[in-house]
Amino acid sequence: MQNPAVVFDAETGEALLLGAEQRRRAREEDRGEKTAQREARERVARRETLLRLQRQQHAHVQHIVDEEVEAEKQRQVQWQIEATSASAKRFLRHKFDRERAAARDRLNRIRREQEIVLVTKMAELNLIR
């Protein structure tokens, strides 16, 4: 016969003797609590990883937008300096339209790529299936 284990009741503080079956159940409950705690920590870590990625992506997009704001300011300066005739205005308008379209396409492409990276990371972290 196995020796009974002594445990203390958390509510009453009384010492309790546990038989083999009760000790086994207590160990299983303890393992279950530890597993649940570990899983909760892992979920938090996965979410933090995802949030870090999202912050990096947002910073990258913001940097691109800031660059485009600066480019637009330069266009305005160039317009003031070079748009002296109708043909120069037409040329600059066409040039600036192409530059803006290229910047818009670049930003849209980066956003699509980031979305793919984010969804892939979510699947890798078992946040989606």
Total domains, the chain: 1
Residues 24-48 have a mean pLDDT of: 81
Tens digit of pLDDT for each residue in 73-116? 999 999 999 999 999 999 999 999 999 999 999 999 999 999 99
Question: What is the spatial distance between Cα 124 and Cα 119, in angstroms, rounded to a whole number?
Answer: 9
Terminal CA-CA length for the chain: 50
The answer to whether residue 129 is domain-embedded is no
| Residue 39 in tokens | 């899983």
The answer to whether residue 24 is domain-embedded is yes
Tens digit of pLDDT for each residue in 117-127? 999 999 999 88
What is residue 49's predicted lDDT score, i.e. its pLDDT? 93
| Residue 30 in tokens | 């303890």
The answer to whether residue 19 is domain-embedded is yes
What is residue 126's predicted lDDT score, i.e. its pLDDT? 87
What is residue 1's predicted lDDT score, i.e. its pLDDT? 46
Give helix 20-82 / helix 86-124 axis angle, nearest 10°: 170
Q: Identify the residue whose tokens are 């530059």.
A: 99
Over 70: is that where the pLDDT of 18 sits?
Answer: no
The answer to whether residue 58 is domain-embedded is yes
**Residue 41 is part of which domain span?**
5-124
Task: Indicate the DSSP class of residue 85.
Answer: S
